[in-house]
Chain A
Amino acid sequence: MNFWIIQGLNGLAFGSLLFILASGFSLIFGLMRIVNLSHGAYFMLGAYVGLSAIEAGVNFWIAILIGGGAICILGGVLERFILRRLTGQPLAQVLVTLGIAFIIADTCVWIWTGDPRPVPMPSELTGAFRISHLAFPIYRLFVIGVAFALAATLWFLLERSRLGAMIRAGVDDLPMARAMGIRTSLLFTVVFCLGSALAGAGGVLAGPILSVYPGLDTDMLPLALVVVILGGVGSLLGAFIGSLIIGFIYSYGQALFPDLAYVILFLPMVLVLTLRPTGLFGRQAI
């Protein structure tokens, strides 16, 4: 029984991190039709930047802002100066983001070496939360809280704000949105920066749980892809549910069949692609 609860919470925590990563990826893909294969690298780079900030004596919360901010700027620059030049050429855009992912990954090895580096936990959140004989790290509960808060914020942003209305219009029908006078150029940059910032900040937040290591990028990227395939293109709810499903499967799989945890990740994807190629909450096939 305890096992199920603890692993469930672990799955929830992992799914939460995944959601922070995948929500941005999904937004960018849904709106701009850009499959940003650098997204995993943003996550890893954000974590490294945050780690360096912490090692330089900065407090954990500021480090999250620094990690998120740095990646936000990086994403904005890449969007403006490279991806923008390739508008209307989705495959060229994908290949460029793949190239950038490699450049970032190798640069990280160069700067931060190949050893895994744990990111220290903020002192406020160390320790465990106990109910009778169950103990669960407070930090993970905190991460879960952050993801739920983020989901609520993004939902509010998308459904209730002007920016969100523009994004939704763009996701539904880009030419139409343009015809209605929405400045899609600016909108793209804003969304790309937002997604990048989430990836960067998510990386720092993940640091105390996952550590930072070379390969974190390519560990996380396919999971973000799977989440989007599962949840459906451009669907926030889909990204949320998809992240949690993958989080649970990964966590229970890891604990029950450590050899096969990765294979099991296949299953929801196989099922969804077979039975519902639009994803659980998507309206169009990917």
Chain B
Amino acid sequence: MRFSAFNALPRLLVFAALLAMPWLVTSDYYVNIASQIVIAAILALSLNLLIGFGGMISLGHAAYLGVAAYLTIYLTAHAGFGHLTGAVIAIGATTVLAMLFGYLALRASGLGFLMITLALGQILWGVAYRWASLTGGDNGLGGLKRPHPFGLDLNDPIIFYYFVLFFLAIAVWCIARFIQSGLGQSLQGTRDQPRRMRALGYNVWLIQWLSFVFSGFWGAVAGLLYAYYHQFVSPQTLHLTTSAETLLMVIAGGTGTLLGPVVGAALVVILKNVVSAYITRWLILLGVIFVAIVLFMPEGLVPGARRALRALRGSSRTDTVAEASSIAKDGA
């Protein structure tokens, strides 16, 4: 029974590293970057559900991050809701949005799906940008105070870090369960052979839609934490570049692996912070990386590294996951 796409060891290593992070780095600055990585990792994991396991390339995933963040800040800092109610409504409403977007985007597949998600995402960006009376327009929306759940002071960077890490752990757990579940396995079947799946009795549309909504839910969780972290949100959060960065995390890390998006998130966040410290041309670099990855490393870093490792160990078995999900090989 060789379902398994990932060995336990690298996963344990990554988690050990994440747990020990505050001891490994010395300043609050780095702890904060670690928090950003963790939040980005949740978002990337949720996008990977679509891309890696569902074969649905979305270019509008910033929608869930941004809408949940806007709602969180608006509800708690401007509309007088408590932190808990605000969080629940923000995540709930964003999930409902995912239901609607999923319905629309799944009217098409492949490139059409990609175009619709992109258009929907950019329209939301336009709303945030233009509907200034509600969203603050270009100035964004701020004023959020971090909550104190169970007496924890989230203003302390280390406590905040463990707070978001806790959510990442839950996300990884749920998503790992999902991938091995009946629904998750069905989703992977629809990615590989949609026609056969239909003939086998699967409602392909429904399976994809449910997965889309599940993915949107975790995107919303990332958005909630994003709002707590930055205490501020602007249209930039909803912009195509955010979706593209998330996509880059997924494909750089390797689609269709549990670990990949976490590694990819770390790479992209670190790179972005490092680069921004020296030059202002992050977007060019983002573009160059996109082109380079597609042309030279279509399968992503994690599967590539794993294959290399395997080759070193002398095993001839090819990595099934790497084959499964190379972006370049996926048809539309």
Contact = CB atoms under 8 A, between A and B. Distances in A.
Interface of A: 29, 33, 35, 37, 82, 85-86, 89-92, 94-96, 98-107, 110, 218-219, 221-222, 225-226, 228-229, 258-263, 265-266, 269-270, 273-274, 277, 285-286
Contacts of A277: 107-108
Given A82-B295, A94-B57, A260-B131, A225 B119 contact: yes
B323 to A, nearest CB: 15
Contacts of B283: 102-103, 105-106
Contact of A229 (B119, B125, B251, B286): B119
B270 interface: no
Nearest to B117: A225
Task: Choose among A82, A99, A262 the residue with the greatest number of B CB atoms under 10 Å from its CB.
Answer: A99
A265 B116 CA distance: 13
B295 A85 contact: yes
Contact of B115 (A102, A106, A228, A262): A228
A103 B284 contact: yes
A102 B286 contact: yes
A85 B131 CA distance: 43
A96 B329 contact: no
| Interface size range of chain B in the complex | 35 or more
Majority SS at the chain A contact face = helix
Given A259-B131, A260-B131, A269 B290 contact: no
What is the predominant secondary structure among interface residues of chain B facing chain A?
A: helix
B282 to A, nearest CB: 8
Given A102-B290, A261-B130, A286-B112, A33 B328 contact: no
B290 A98 contact: yes
A89 B330 CA distance: 7
Nearest to B132: A259
A227 B239 CA distance: 20
B172 interface: no
Contact of A286 (B108, B132, B241, B295): B108
Interface centre among A91, A103, A105 (most CB of B within 10 A): A91
A121 B104 CA distance: 41
Interface of B: 57, 59, 104, 107-108, 110-112, 114-116, 118-120, 122-123, 125-127, 129-134, 239-241, 244, 247, 251, 281-284, 286-291, 293-295, 298, 327-332
Contact of A107 (B134, B284, B293, B329): B284
A226 B121 CA distance: 12
A218 B122 contact: yes
A12 B283 CA distance: 34
A273 B295 contact: no
Contacts of A285: 107-108, 112
A105 B247 CA distance: 19
A103 to B, nearest CB: 4
A214 to B, nearest CB: 10
B131 A99 contact: no
A91 B57 contact: yes
A262 B130 contact: yes
Contact of B328 (A92, A100, A107, A262): A92
Nearest to A284: B112
A269 B115 contact: no
B326 to A, nearest CB: 9
Contacts of B284: 102-103, 106-107, 110
